[in-house]
Structure 1
């Protein structure tokens, strides 16, 4: 397949993907298409499956490209890595569309009733989460994967007596983190082409991952002191 045919294969599931994004992934060493004698890229079905897998992990699990590349490099070397961050597992060398969807845990947008049923959150809890900016419906009144994760977390926290009003510091901390990401990527964001946007998004993921790691380390250290 040429790159236009690859886009045709991917855009139903990933409508935002562009030729520049695919070339960016090639530049980063995540996919290596064959070349014709004239230098044109030629993609196989396996390349498309690999791209679909990468894009699904980026979109649904928010994993940095470096983490995905390290995993795929290990697979390419014939190793059998057990899991990705977050406990995601897969069978090496088998990255089909169905498997990619299963691994990513991608869900279609949910109605409010579906969000309530799947997350276990009551209507009052969802109302409070919306009031405090923890979840937000799209223009069609549906909720994405991030809303589901937030609602599930809120259910657990509420069982320990922590109500949405107690969680406002998380919203404030997230907003501050977003500000740091925007500040760090401001220079890169001045360019408007698709490849530049892909670089900004990847840098944002790496910064966010580092911020989450730092937060986890600091909180983990404090909790460890409770055992001493």
Structure 2
């Protein structure tokens, strides 16, 4: 997908696995076991360690996922409902690895940083008169037709002195992701999301997460 002066990378893969836990060593051992089970049908392409930072903030210091739906609304946004019996209980997920130019970000005046995001870093309050390019203005989920609700589960990542955000978001189809990305890129109105001033995605892939039935993955939609 491309917009004025920008192009988002597409890096598809056959399988995506997300391991979570507090013990890094235990996660490593689980990852090695899974890799052995899947070989030789699957070859490991990339791994990326992510972590929680400062109570749920991005490495930029801003809170992430502020507009996430909660409760039943979160389920409705992320999990396919009974109106689509074949896919009920499953989810569609978008995964992107964003690389922040932290040095450039730190050189920006504090007010400019806030206007890029559309929120004040100090108290997370939305800036009502933020420019149309502010990230919160570009991605306001209820402003799309139909609304583009997603459930974000993003986490920061770091390697050496480089870092950014592993953007992970779930929805009932790929349409909400596509709608938000198109607006961020300014495809419809040529207004590019100000977030691109200090961060860019390095990868981008879509996956389908099967439902769980009786403690096992339900792969019947794939006729497996």
**TM-score, length basis structure 1:** 0.26
Give the number of the structure whose residues are more often helix, by fraction.
Answer: 1
> Radius of gyration: which is bigger?
1
Which structure has more relative contact order (CA 8 Å, sep 6+)? It is: 2
